[in-house]
Amino acid sequence: MTPELTALTLAALLQVVQYVLMAVPANLELGPGKTLSPRDPGRLGQPLIDQVSPGTGRLFRALNNHFEGLILFTIACVVVTLADQSTPVTAACAFTYLAARVLYIPAYYFGWVPWRSLIWAVGFLATTLMLLAALL
């Protein structure tokens, strides 16, 4: 497995961890009546994210942000691997993305301003550099 695919696999496992970090407090705060329901808007009154504590809401948004970032990162890893363009630079970028995503969770949860945005930018830049490196 290329280093980029290893980083991608670890990023997917991080997504699992993030899901648990969000789901456990959400279930404790909302109770099974809401979390096990079909979540029809008429029954809930408002989205679940609006009914949880600020910290749990931040964990929910961090999880969704990682889903969004993971799409582009997956494309970068697959392109680099299939094009046989894996280099120490692309491997470093892949693990930089992963490190940024790990740091992003506490940065979002604790509201680190402007660090959360800077950490996000590092991961985005690392992904972009992987895509550009694949073209060279």
pTM of the model: 0.92
pLDDT reading at 43 higher than 80: no
Question: 10 Å Cβ neighbour count for 119?
Answer: 21
pLDDT digits (tens, 9 = 90+) for 70-115: 999 999 999 999 999 999 999 999 999 999 999 999 999 999 999 9
| 113 Rama class: left (phi>0) / alpha (psi -120 to 50) / beta | beta
pLDDT for 40 equals 78
Q: What angle do CA 98, 101, 107 make, to 5 degrees?
A: 145
Residues 6+ apart with CB under 8 A from 130: 4, 73, 76, 77, 79, 80, 90, 93, 94, 97
